[in-house]
Amino acid sequence: MVAFFFALFAGLGSTSDSLSSEKREGTLGLLFLTDLKGYDVVLGKLAATSLGALYGLLAVVPVLAIPLLMGGVTAGAFWRVVAVLLNTLFFSLASGMFVSSLSRYPRQALSGTLLLVLLVTGGLPLAGFGLSGFASARLVNKAFLLPSPGFAFYLAVDPTTLTAWGSVALWQSLLLTHLLGWCWLCAASWIAPRVWKDKPASVNRLIWRDRWRELILGDAARRRAFRARLLAINPVFWLASRERQTATYPWIFLSGMGAIWIWAWGQDRTLWSDLSAAVFLTYALHLFMKAWMLSLACNSLVVDRDNGALELMLSTPLSTRELLRGQWLALRRHFLLPVGAVLLFDLFWLALGFSGKGRPQDPPEGMLVCAYLANMGMFALDLVALAWVGMWKGISSRRASQAARAALARVLVLPWVIFAAGWVGLLLLGLLAGFRSFPLLGVSAVFAWFFAGLAVDVVCIQWARGKLHRELRRVAAQRFSNAPGTGEAN
């Protein structure tokens, strides 16, 4: 599963900003002044940016073969999983290339790739289940399931799919997902030669652009009032919040999720009183909000750094503390109320879970309640840590995708690594000591995970805040140099 998620989201860090960065720097047009065609540029960028992800996945394959040597799985099951992982990696990288051909800015490319991957992997199967009235998987139209890499992964690892239908569906899913990846590459090859030129805008386009700008930013009177109110608080706060409509995006997303939830609740009310489903689905919702926060935090200073605005701000009487306070206020304006709404919804869902009390629960209900509350607490703490670490890694990394990977590894992955290492260590000690019961199970495991995450978040917040206050000016001034202490090493 770890290898699958690595392959599924590899396009975010490898290819999502490949063509868009060339457009921002004005070098994409230079490539097309040569004899290169669109497919030459796209396939060349794909090969250059995806080698790291490919080598990373291939390095895991021998580890996956260990159960094969121990007699735990068959050779056919092993090779099916390897085929699904390689196919998923190709699909993710091709999706990143396609979105990159349409995008110009890093945040736009990153969020677009994430949305496309999630839509094909999870959105289509969910739509199929919804149209079938939450029937079993066999009653769902296969047209909604076969394009999903997640469905192919499920067929590859589930032993019950070794029937004739499962084998045929697996290869159909692999073929369809592979063809979809080639469709993304063909579309990117057609789009790339047509988007690098600066074309003069027509009169109608200018009119619609003004109307759209007025709709987003408001008329002149509203812009003046909004600017005066935010400038009185912090000038960087106004600069980072000029596009007022961005604060409504989380509410649009949560409204859509709420509509889906209400419709699903009307279909099957017992489904939403199951604490096991509540823990899983709320964790998925929290993870999406964390990724959104990280995307904005990584890009909050990157754009100003790349266009030189950050150096201009640092040359004003504004202190580093005031600049960071403005960035933090902008993030808080964007997420504070939506995050509060999510936590209130979590409590409401927990109350619904207690309404299903008396039904058999596995694992026990007490552990599920503790896991649910720990998930809520880590949601708020992780958001704060991701904001600070994202801002520092965004300003000190060469690319926003590198910054996002580094922040994710520190804030979200590291607690699980610490917990897993402690769990395995205690297990080995228990086996050596001859214990019949293992101490780190149930509620104890939940508390161990929570305190591991709490410790990591506190350390990351203090580390990132210290780095930003001490080294922001130096990193901004050395963005074009190769001096030690700049770039990804930090």
List, in order, residues 6 or more apart from 310 with CB less than 8 Å away.
301, 304, 395, 476
N-term to C-term CA, the chain:
30
Given a cut of 70, whether residue 302 has pLDDT beyond it is yes
- Is there a single domain that holds both residue 11 and residue 124? yes
**pLDDT in the model for residue 365:** 61
pLDDT in tens, 222-255: 778 878 888 888 888 888 777 777 778 888 888 8
Answer yes or no: is 244 within a domain: no
Q: What angle do CA 68, 69, 73 make, to 5 degrees?
A: 25
Answer yes or no: is 249 within a domain: no
pLDDT averaged over every residue in the chain: 79
Distance CA 445, CA 375 (A): 13
Backbone angles phi, psi at 359, to 5 degrees: -80, 150
- Is there a single domain that holds both residue 463 and residue 332? yes
Answer yes or no: is 248 within a domain: no
Distance CA 438, CA 429 (A): 10
- Is there a single domain that holds both residue 148 and residue 264? no
Last residue of a domain, one of 161, 184, 199: 199
User: Is residue 457 classed exposed, middle or buried when 0-12, 13-18 and 19+ CB atoms within 10 A define those classes?
Assistant: buried
- Is there a single domain that holds both residue 143 and residue 269? no
Both structure tokens of 378: 């880590």
Higher-scoring residue by pLDDT: 145, 464: 464
- Is there a single domain that holds both residue 152 and residue 261? no
- Is there a single domain that holds both residue 294 and residue 190? no
Both structure tokens of 134: 């939450």
**pLDDT in the model for residue 363:** 46
- Is there a single domain that holds both residue 267 and residue 145? no
Do 46 and 97 form a contact (C-beta atoms < 8 A)?
yes
Of 348, 354, 352, 378, nearest in space to 366 by CA: 354
pLDDT in tens, 119-154: 888 878 877 766 665 444 445 577 778 888 988 898
Both structure tokens of 178: 């592979």
- Is there a single domain that holds both residue 170 and residue 314? no
- Is there a single domain that holds both residue 194 and residue 338? no
What average pLDDT score do residues 190-200 get?
78
**pLDDT in the model for residue 182:** 94
Instruction: Band the pLDDT of 442: cuts 50, 70, 90.
Output: low
Answer yes or no: is 225 within a domain: no
Q: In terms of residue numbers, what domain contains 287?
A: 256-490
**pLDDT in the model for residue 435:** 60
Do 342 and 257 form a contact (C-beta atoms < 8 A)?
no
Last residue of a domain, one of 199, 227, 246: 199
Given a cut of 70, whether residue 159 has pLDDT beyond it is no
* Cβ burial 247-256 (10 Å sphere, 16+ → b, else e): beebeeebee
Given a cut of 50, whether residue 204 has pLDDT beyond it is yes
**pLDDT in the model for residue 119:** 87
Higher-scoring residue by pLDDT: 130, 322: 322
What average pLDDT score do residues 303-330 get?
80
- Is there a single domain that holds both residue 157 and residue 262? no
Structural domain count of the chain? 2
pTM equals 0.72
Q: Which residue has the tokens 């754009």?
A: 303
Higher-scoring residue by pLDDT: 134, 383: 383
Answer yes or no: is 488 within a domain: yes
Answer yes or no: is 358 within a domain: yes
Beta-bridged to residue 357, according to DSSP, are: 359
Both structure tokens of 405: 């990977």
**pLDDT in the model for residue 388:** 92
- Is there a single domain that holds both residue 261 and residue 403? yes
Answer yes or no: is 235 within a domain: no
- Is there a single domain that holds both residue 464 and residue 322? yes
Answer yes or no: is 125 within a domain: yes
Q: Which residue has the tokens 């692999």?
A: 174
Distance CA 189, CA 480 (A): 31
Last residue of a domain, one of 134, 167, 199: 199
